[in-house]
Amino acid sequence: MRIDLIITELNTGGAERCLTELALGLHARGHRVRVISLGPPPLKPRDGLLKRLHEAKIPFESLESGSIWLAPFALNRLSRMIRRDPPDVVQTFLFHANVLGTIAAKIAKVEICIGGVRVADPTPWRLRIERWAVAKMQAIVCVSQAVAEFVQQNRLCTATKRPPVVIPNGIDIARWETTYPIDWRRHDIPSDAKVILFVGRLDPQKGLERLFAAAEQVLQADPNAWLVMIGDGPLRDQCNTELEKLPGQRARRIGWQAEIAPYLHACQLLVLTSHYEGMPNVVLEAMACGKPVVCNEVEGAAELLAANLQLQCVPQGDVSGTAKAIITFLADPELASRIGAENRNHVASHFSLTEMVQRYEQLYLEQLSQSPTGGSGSDR
């Protein structure tokens, strides 16, 4: 098959990592894969995913469209690019790619266009636009059952010929479990600190006000507890201010990191307080590292944490419940170790990278078999 994977940008993130793993997996299975980014190519040091594509000799194209005002230019260029070298299947990832990628594929007369909904974003105007784009797709992939239910509840898939297809993220567990932990002293944190780790974009979606409120309770209850945040984003300055207010100033923001596995291995647990998600990749990664998680009830959390949901998942907005769950793990290292091991086993059994690639491949072949011409491209 000839497959175009289109995404908004290729900076390191959950959707971007999934697309890269999918491209590599499909390429290894003998398919011709091309990756197209609407935005500019990622700059060093955030170009790790692009390097992996280059090393595998997978073609990468960038439309250099870093602004909504450049959307008409991006659409025109993308449709011409697809028309010159037509694929059998176009798979889009994330909102902007779902919209522009689908329109461009239809202009270029590609028969099979499959969208990807990876987050349950309730913003009304986005839902209206995405509903219009999905009507032009042959199928839609959701990253979790919870996102599929969100899609159906918001009538995003009423025009497609089938319900959304759920394909969870996969992970190369060997890559995550063999990394050595970082020495916290590099960041002026005591080596025996009980580190609560947050990893993610510093954005209103992540519910950081809840994180700081819960951390205050935890740090007051345990004098050896520290909060460490890895990430960057529009709330960076506000986060720095809030971290300074926490008890004993036992908090650090380290900033964006190319590799988070060493930090996950060194922490006691991961915490996530988002308002909404899809299937949080960082939770999957923490589980692969054998760590417990304390997470709000967000989309995908129940599927990831199914083995020990009650210990690791708290109701939305329950700050005291979040703090209590964290304190429970910090106070009982044996419990934390046992839950972490069970998390690792659950990921190994249910979130295989190989299975993820196979399920995408199966979907594409199924759609092609139902197409009158068998696809737009050649050399399948």
Q: What would the pLDDT profile of 337-378 be if each residue is shown by its tens digit? A: 999 999 999 999 999 999 999 999 999 999 999 887 766 554
Same fold, 2-170+352-369 and 175-350: yes
Residue 247 exposed, middle or buried by CB count within 10 Å (0-12, 13-18, 19+): middle
Residue 206 pLDDT: 96
Q: Where are the domains of the chain?
A: 2-170+352-369, 175-350
pTM of this prediction? 0.92
Domain 175-350 is classified in which CATH homologous superfamily? Answer: Glycogen Phosphorylase B; (3.40.50.2000)
Locate tokens 């219009």: which residue?
A: 132
Locate tokens 């692969």: which residue?
A: 288
Of 24-28, 155-159, 334-338, 340-344, where does mean pLDDT reach its minimum? 155-159
According to CATH, the topology of domain 2-170+352-369 is: Rossmann fold (3.40.50)
Name the pLDDT band for 161 (thresholds 50, 70, 90).
Answer: low
Name the pLDDT band for 379 (thresholds 50, 70, 90).
Answer: very low
